[in-house]
Structure 1
């Protein structure tokens, strides 16, 4: 019975998040009410509040859902990076970017970022920062894997490099979501142009 209850709980939560993704995209985060999400998810308003205290909690949960999926996909890249330092780093970064609008619109990302900045000490703020930390750690893991394979200089600090690369890709993503006219291809082109010189500098045998 416990297993059934857990499955039912997980199903209700998935329905709530699916409703949030659909309605936030269609009507805008600020226009959607908890009652709207409950109706679409076919649960009571009270059930929604059993899972999430605020609408902001639901939005940050969609960010966490997105991050979980990109981390899973990124783990495969880290486990077997493609040849070439620049190719390996950009494969991971582009995997993040390509998935970034799967659940969240640019407007949703801006709101989630604002929530995390306005109140960094709240559960939402901490949760958002934790997602960034996990992504930065994965970039670091990739650098360490490239060092182990002999592609990146062993005298360099993998963590410092991972944080540097993540900070840049994250800042460029912020620029992307701020600009409704910027395309994903334009973002990727700019980040590739910034990343390739760094890859050449840290490569053990620069091309």
Structure 2
């Protein structure tokens, strides 16, 4: 019975998040009402408040759902990355970017970022920070994996390089979210160009 209850709870949570993202996109975050989210999710308003205190909590939880799926996809890249460093970085980072607007719009990302800064002590805001750390750690593990396979120079500090790469791709994503008209392909092209010289510097196989 406990397993069934957990499954039902997870199902309700998923319905709430999917309803919220639909309404946030259709009506805008500010205009979406808790009552409408509950109705679309087919739960009572009271039930919704058992899961989330406010719309901000729902939004940051949606970010968590988004990034969790991105991390799962990233693990498949790390398990068998291209041995060309530039290609490996591009493959993983584009995996991140391609999924970034699956649940959330740019407006929703901007709002979530603001909430995470304005309310840093809330559990869901702390989760937002943890997810950034997990993405950064995944980049570090990609560099370390390539290093073990001989594609990255042995003396390179994988931790430091991975964090530098993540900090750049994260800042570029923030800029992307701020500019409503910027296409995703422009973001990917610009980040790939920025990471190309880093890949060349750390690669054990030098272009001739």
* Same-fold status (TM-score > 0.5): yes
Say whether residues 1:57 and 2:57 are aligned partners.
Answer: yes
Structure 1, unpaired ranges of 5+: none
Deviation at 1:122, TM superposition (A): 2.4
TM-score, scaled to structure 2: 0.98
Deviation per residue, 1:11-50 (Å, 9 max, x gap): 1111101101100011111111111100000100010011
Deviation at 1:108, TM superposition (A): 0.1
In 2, distance between residues paired with 1:124 and 1:27? Answer: 23
Deviation per residue, 1:163-198 (Å, 9 max, x gap): 000000000000000001100010011001100010
- Aligned residues, how many? 207
In 2, distance between residues paired with 1:124 and 1:29? Answer: 17
In 2, distance between residues paired with 1:146 and 1:5? Answer: 43
Q: Which residue of 2 aligns with 1:94?
A: 94
Q: Which residue of 2 aligns with 1:40?
A: 40
In 2, distance between residues paired with 1:37 and 1:61? Answer: 14
TM-score, scaled to structure 1: 0.98
Deviation at 1:204, TM superposition (A): 1.1
Say whether residues 1:21 and 2:16 are aligned partners.
Answer: no
Q: Which residue of 1 aligns with 2:161?
A: 161
Structure 2, unpaired ranges of 5+: none
In 1, distance between residues paired with 2:201 and 2:7? Answer: 50
Query: Secondary structure of the equivalent of 1:31?
Result: coil
In 2, distance between residues paired with 1:44 and 1:197? Answer: 54
Q: Compute the RMSD of aligned alpha carbons.
A: 0.8
Deviation at 1:125, TM superposition (A): 2.4
Q: Is the CA contact 2:12–2:41 (under 8 Å) kept in the aligned structure 1?
A: yes
Query: Secondary structure of the equivalent of 1:155?
Result: coil
Q: Is the CA contact 1:143–1:162 (under 8 Å) kept in the aligned structure 2?
A: yes
In 2, distance between residues paired with 1:2 and 1:129? Answer: 31
Q: Is the CA contact 2:83–2:146 (under 8 Å) kept in the aligned structure 1?
A: no
Q: Which residue of 2 aligns with 1:137?
A: 137
Q: Which residue of 1 aligns with 2:179?
A: 179
Query: Secondary structure of the equivalent of 1:104?
Result: coil
